Structure 1
Amino acid sequence: MEEIRNKVAESQLININFKQLLQEKQPQVLDIADWLYEKLIVREEEFKKCVEQHNWGQYRGKTLVVYCSEDVIIPMWAWMLIANRVTAAGGKLIYSSTREIEEKKLLSIVDSLDVEEFRDKRILINGCQHPAVTPETYCLITQKLQPVARSLMYGEACSNIPIYKKK
């Protein structure tokens, strides 16, 4: 009798599962609710003091997801101050509403992937029914991996759709 072979295991596919990425990697997240006066309003002087005292250096080379967990109106200049500090520290910033925080966390994780580990590899991006996985996530992973991958596919190992193949 012939030995049963696992052709999927032998295929040398690198499998990217977004749900697993969300569980394994925790991006940098900043909730500015504590910087609000009585968690209700932004007072310019107090807010600027919080911005000034925050350790922005910890985000160097990283992507920060920033949001406010309180349902209040934050003036646009407050977000701009934060973006200015993150950029000056050498980091990237993604804004999120509370409702979109999981989506933004996943985008942050994908954005910070080290693409070198995928160089010249066959990569399978799993189809995932997780609320945080949006078309934006699939677009970002494609843009990040296409320049280095040997091939990109979507789906499962037994049934996939070719997206890209290096010529």
Structure 2
Amino acid sequence: MDTAPLVNRVAESAIETLDLAAIAPAEDVVAFDLAPHLYRGLVLREREFRQALKDHDWTAYAGRDVAVFCSADALVPTWAFMLVAAKLGAAETGAASVTAAPPEEVRRARFAAALDAADWDRYAGKPVVVKGCGNDVVPLDGFVQATRRLQGVASKVLYGEACSSVPVWRRPAPGAGAPGAGGAGRPAKPAAAKPVGVKPAGVKPAGPPRG
């Protein structure tokens, strides 16, 4: 009876797993929506808005990345964003950053910065599976940008899990020719040269000119 131990082929393979959720910033973006401060959902009244900012509890934004935006379809004056930024920049609140953009745009920018800081050299010459399950904290653009970065170092990019993945990209073999070119490095076949001085078949030679 064969008593050889079972071998986990997946664990022993050279495939690297990239979990983008582990790269994502730890804390989520905090949103400050200007829409609730609009009069009748249309305009912003300066006096009422200043009072609302004065009464607002800003302690929840301390050390956080804040997205200042307006979810309503209204024309908000520039000074409104500046007033909010001034409150968030006060010493007692100390927001980590303030951006005039919807929360999803701020998340995308923060994740792009996290990708820039990641160590991509560890995937050099290796097949990489980009983990796709349970990555709700990863924006869609994060998968796109990770693919582009992996193309510069990895030998292959897949999506899913190491045991069940979808091929995304593979590095071409050295010297591989373009599709339909007849193979890697194969020179094009020259056109056959036409014989010189041979008349085409079925054509009678011209007779002497008639006088």
Say yes or no: TM over 0.5: yes
1:51, distance to aligned residue in structure 2 (A): 1.3
The alpha-carbon distance between structure 1 residues 29 and 44, as it changes in their structure 2 partners (threshold 3 A), is same
- Is 1:159 paired with 2:156? yes
Task: Give aligned-pair identity as a percent.
Answer: 23
Higher-Rg member (1/2):
2
TM-score, reference length from structure 1: 0.57
Structure with greater proportional strand content: 1
Alignment of 1:3-152 (within 5 A): 3-7=7-11, 15-17=19-21, 26-88=28-90, 89-91=93-95, 92-97=97-102, 101-108=103-110, 122=122, 126=130, 133=141, 138=145
Assess if the C-alpha contact under 8 Å between 2:17 and 2:129 holds in 1.
no
Assess if the C-alpha contact under 8 Å between 2:39 and 2:45 holds in 1.
yes
Assess if the C-alpha contact under 8 Å between 1:27 and 1:109 holds in 2.
no
The SS at the match of 1:107 is: helix
Q: Which runs of 4+ in 1 moved over 4 A?
A: 7-14, 108-112, 121-128
Q: CA RMSD in A?
A: 4.5
Structure with greater proportional helix content: 1
Per-residue deviation, residues 110-153 of structure 1 (Å, max 9, x unmatched): 769xx8xx79x95889599x97527xx95xx9xxxxxxxxxxx6
The alpha-carbon distance between structure 1 residues 52 and 109, as it changes in their structure 2 partners (threshold 3 A), is farther
What is the alpha-carbon distance in structure 2 between the residues aligned to residue 4 and residue 42 of structure 1?
63
What is the alpha-carbon distance in structure 2 between the residues aligned to residue 85 and residue 125 of structure 1?
44
Consecutive unaligned residues in structure 1, runs of 5 or more? 142-152, 162-167
The alpha-carbon distance between structure 1 residues 58 and 131, as it changes in their structure 2 partners (threshold 3 A), is closer
Matched pairs, number: 136
